[in-house]
Amino acid sequence: MLDVYLQTLLSGLAVGGVYALIALGFSITFTTTKTLNFAQGEFISFGAFIGVTMLLLLSGLASTTTAVPSEAASAWRYPAAVIGAGAVAGFMGILIFLLAVKPFAGKGGMNWVMSTLGFGVMLQSLGLAIWGPAPVMVPSPLGDNVLRIAGAGVRPQELLVLACAILIMVALDLVMRRSRIGKAMMAVAHSPQTASLMGINVNLVMIGAFALSSGLAGVAGVLIAPIASASLFMGMGFALKAFSGAIIGGLNNPRGCIYGGFILGVLESGIGLWQAQWREIVVFGLIILVLAFRPAGLFGQAAVDKV
Amino acid sequence: MLTLKDVHLAYGPIAAVRSASIDVKAGEVVAIVGGNGAGKSTLLKGIAGLMPVGSGQIVFEGEDISRLAPHKRVARGIALSPEGRQVFPDQSVYDNLTLGAYFRKLPNDALDAEVEEQFKLFPRLRERRDQLAVTLSGGEQQMLAIARALMGKPRLLLLDEPSLGLAPKIIQEIFDIIVSLRRSGITILLVEQMANMALAIADRAYVLETGSVTLSGTGQQLLHDPKVRAAYLGVSHSAA
């Protein structure tokens, strides 16, 4: 029985790692610009398909198919696809900031909600025109042979996802806390006006925040594709869960969002073990419960009005 | 060094500063005094670039900077120690100071040397070096805000209400530091509600009333002006 729990925990952590990456992305734009990219789900799907396209092109295959052959993901091609998808999604993040967020940010009102949602719908239609509606099976670069860890069966991709997610988040955490650019980002997060008095180009930091946040979504898409298979409709569900994770953890606390993502992944997987059909009901019920008692999230700081 | 020509500043439809013309010469301490809501802080925000200039011109060292983004004005040599201090609460005293020099892209050892200079000027900050700014007292936060502005090596330092909410003893300390800064050659534009103290150290001063400059003169002239004494100094301070 213990092996089943371990298996559930590991796959929960793997999916949770993906939620955490995306949740961190939400937190990055929220803290620096007080806005969220509601097209994040489409960035995940787009990332997955850019990854698929790169895998196929790099191995000299046709650019559309319903299943990527496993040799196409081998060796250096998968890491290249992850980085490529992150870069393309990051670039699209700059576009969405300049076109759909900047004109409305900091002016009050919720126009950016509609404009980022709309950007997402446009992206999805564009994706359907390029890749079509059919999901694409994506092989794991580590193969599909189930590994046995203390009796628990684990797919190698799950371990890869978990390792990549942790690596990326630890690296980002170090950059945010130790480097000058990280401290400048923290300054912008606290007060864009005061940050500009330090000679910080606030606009550039905000562009960087959107690029980083969207890049994380793109990377998450390629990481999860071998587990969930790539589909232009996959992103929405992941983005919603990741957003819930961010809310549970506290949107204004990047570390809290990471914890929130992991908590949600493990919870979901644990409840799925018990009653799969109750999974969503219990998960979102818990989110509402958490918010009722801790409106700023488990790890968030309640906003204190300054005198 | 700094000339404001007929500057208008507004919050949406509400005018905060009307047709203000102000002159600051290199090496001077110039004070702007006036009551609550007179537009003093708005004026400094306009100079720092935090408020868009509606009409008029801000000329710094011969160049029109009216449309320049705030971070570019800092790079030109204008630093603002803002009203209410606005230190970064979740960062250490040391990190707050280094942020003040962010745009200068100094190597680490040069940065440390400049932080050390600020610690000489504000010894209390040295004791608090690794504490989060939020844990400092009001006076210490004010010192940090001024030191952080100085880290940008400004030629013009804008000080917005440095006495706000502080005990008299601390206010005296802050003003002593302002006087010593002037001796080191920094030009200072000081906005204060404590008119008596500001006028006492100012070479020249302007009185701002509901967004307009109504009086100007040397610090001593305004200090002894009957209208100023009645409006801003109160009878008990008139002995000065």
Residue pLDDT, tens place only, A171-214: 999 998 899 999 999 999 999 999 999 999 999 999 999 999 99
Task: Check CB contact under 8 Å for B102 and A196.
Answer: no
Is it the case that residue A307 has pLDDT exceeding 70? no
pLDDT bin (cut points 50, 70, 90) of residue A68 is: confident
In this structure, what DSSP letter does residue A252 have?
Answer: T
B76 and B170 housed in the same domain? yes
B88 and B2 housed in the same domain? no
Domain-embedded: residue A280: no
pLDDT tens track for B31-75 = 999 888 899 999 999 999 999 999 999 999 999 999 999 999 999
Contacting residues of B for A199, CB less than 8 Å apart: 71, 74-75, 102-104, 152
Domain-embedded: residue B27: no
* Interface size, chain A vs chain B, as Cβ–Cβ contacts under 8 Å: 66
Short-list B201, B204, B209, CA closest to B221: B204
Any bridge partners for residue B196, and if so which? none
Q: Give the residue on B whose Cα is nearest the Cα of A306.
A: B84
pLDDT tens track for A220-233 = 999 999 999 899 99
Task: Check CB contact under 8 Å for A190 and B89.
Answer: yes
Give the residue numbers spanning the domain of B9. 1-22+51-67
Is it the case that residue A262 has pLDDT exceeding 90? yes
- Of B187, B208, B231, which one is at a domain's C-terminal end? B187
Task: Check CB contact under 8 Å for A186 and B48.
Answer: no
B58 and B72 housed in the same domain? no
B153, with CB counted inside 10 A (0-12, 13-18, 19+), is: middle
B3 and B59 housed in the same domain? yes
CA angle B176, B84, B81 (to 5 degrees): 55
Which phi and psi angles does A140 have, rounded to 5°?
A: -80, 140
Q: What is the DSSP string of B68-131?
A: --HHHHHHHTEEEE-TT----TTSBHHHHHHHHTGGG---HHHHHHHHHHHHHH-HHHHHTTTS
Question: Does A74 reach chain B within 8 Å, measured CB to CB?
Answer: no
Average pLDDT for A146-164: 89
Domain-embedded: residue B13: yes
Average pLDDT for B204-228: 91
Look up the CATH number of the domain holding residue B150.
Answer: 3.40.50.300
B108 and B155 housed in the same domain? yes
Is it the case that residue A118 has pLDDT exceeding 50? yes
Task: Check CB contact under 8 Å for B103 and A198.
Answer: yes
Task: Check CB contact under 8 Å for B71 and A196.
Answer: yes
Give the residue numbers spanning the domain of A202. 22-232
Is it the case that residue A73 has pLDDT exceeding 90? no
> CA-CA distance, A203 to B165, in Å (whole number)?
33
Asked if residues B49 and B59 have their Cβ atoms less than 8 Å apart, the reply is: no
Report, in this order, helix, strand and coil percent for chain A, each rounded to 5.
Answer: 75, 5, 25
Domain-embedded: residue B122: yes
Best probe of the A interface among B41, B72, B81, B86, by most A CBs < 10 A, is: B86
Amino acid of residue A24: L
> CA-CA distance, B128 to B210, in Å (whole number)?
40
Asked if residues A182 and B36 have their Cβ atoms less than 8 Å apart, the reply is: no
**Which pLDDT value is given to residue B234?**
64
Average pLDDT for A259-287: 89
Is it the case that residue A304 has pLDDT exceeding 60? no
Is it the case that residue A63 has pLDDT exceeding 80? no
Domain-embedded: residue B88: yes
The residue ranking higher by pLDDT, A2 or B91, is B91
Which phi and psi angles does B21 have, rounded to 5°?
A: -120, 120
B104 and B119 housed in the same domain? yes
**Which pLDDT value is given to residue A29?**
94
Question: Does A65 reach chain B within 8 Å, measured CB to CB?
Answer: no
> CA-CA distance, A156 to A226, in Å (whole number)?
10
B172 and B134 housed in the same domain? yes
Nearest to A197 among B80, B90, B98 (CB): B80
B149 and B61 housed in the same domain? no
Question: Does A306 reach chain B within 8 Å, measured CB to CB?
Answer: yes
Is it the case that residue A298 has pLDDT exceeding 90? no
Domain-embedded: residue A98: yes
- Of B147, B165, B187, which one is at a domain's C-terminal end? B187
State how beta strands B14-24 and B187-192 pair. Answer: unpaired
pLDDT bin (cut points 50, 70, 90) of residue A287 is: confident
Average pLDDT for A62-73: 78
Q: Which two tokens stand for residue A104?
A: 């409305």
Task: Check CB contact under 8 Å for A194 and B88.
Answer: yes
pLDDT bin (cut points 50, 70, 90) of residue A61 is: confident
Straight-line distance from the first to the last Cα atom of chain B, in angstroms, rounded to the nearest whole number: 30
Contacting residues of B for A198, CB less than 8 Å apart: 71, 74, 99-100, 102-103, 148, 152
Q: How crowded is the C-beta side of B103, counted as CA atoms within 13 Å?
A: 26
Domain-embedded: residue A253: no
Domain-embedded: residue B217: no
Nearest to A200 among B89, B102, B149 (CB): B102
A residues 6-25 near B, CB within 8 Å?
none
> CA-CA distance, A129 to B196, in Å (whole number)?
72
Q: Give the residue on A whose Cα is nearest the Cα of B152.
A: A198
pLDDT tens track for B125-135 = 999 999 999 99
Name the minimum distance, in Å, from the CA of B26 to any CA of chain A: 21
Q: What is the domain count for chain B?
A: 2
Q: Give the residue on B whose Cα is nearest the Cα of A200.
A: B71
Is it the case that residue A265 has pLDDT exceeding 60? yes
Task: Check CB contact under 8 Å for A306 and B84.
Answer: yes
A2-6, A203-207, A261-265, B7-11 — which is least confidently predicted?
A2-6
Contacting residues of B for A187, CB less than 8 Å apart: 88, 91, 99
**Which pLDDT value is given to residue A302?**
62
pLDDT tens track for B130-173 = 999 999 999 999 999 999 999 999 999 999 999 998 999 999 99
B156 and B117 housed in the same domain? yes
Nearest to B82 among A194, A202, A306 (CB): A194
Q: What is the domain count for chain A?
A: 1
**Which pLDDT value is given to residue A303?**
54
Contacting residues of A for B91, CB less than 8 Å apart: 183, 186-187
**Which pLDDT value is given to residue B240?**
42
Mean pLDDT for chain B overall: 92
B72 and B106 housed in the same domain? yes
Domain-embedded: residue B234: no
Task: Check CB contact under 8 Å for B100 and A198.
Answer: yes
Task: Check CB contact under 8 Å for B71 and A199.
Answer: yes
Is it the case that residue A44 has pLDDT exceeding 90? yes
Question: Does A201 reach chain B within 8 Å, measured CB to CB?
Answer: yes
> CA-CA distance, B141 to B149, in Å (whole number)?
12
Name the minimum distance, in Å, from the CA of A184 to any CA of chain B: 7
Domain-embedded: residue B195: no
**Which pLDDT value is given to residue A286?**
85
Within 8 A by CB and 6+ apart from A185, the residues are A32, A176, A205, A208, A209
B134 and B156 housed in the same domain? yes
Task: Check CB contact under 8 Å for B86 and A180.
Answer: no
B98 and B17 housed in the same domain? no
> CA-CA distance, B148 to B140, in Å (whole number)?
12
Strand, helix or coil for residue A192: helix
Element housing A130 (H / E): helix A111-131
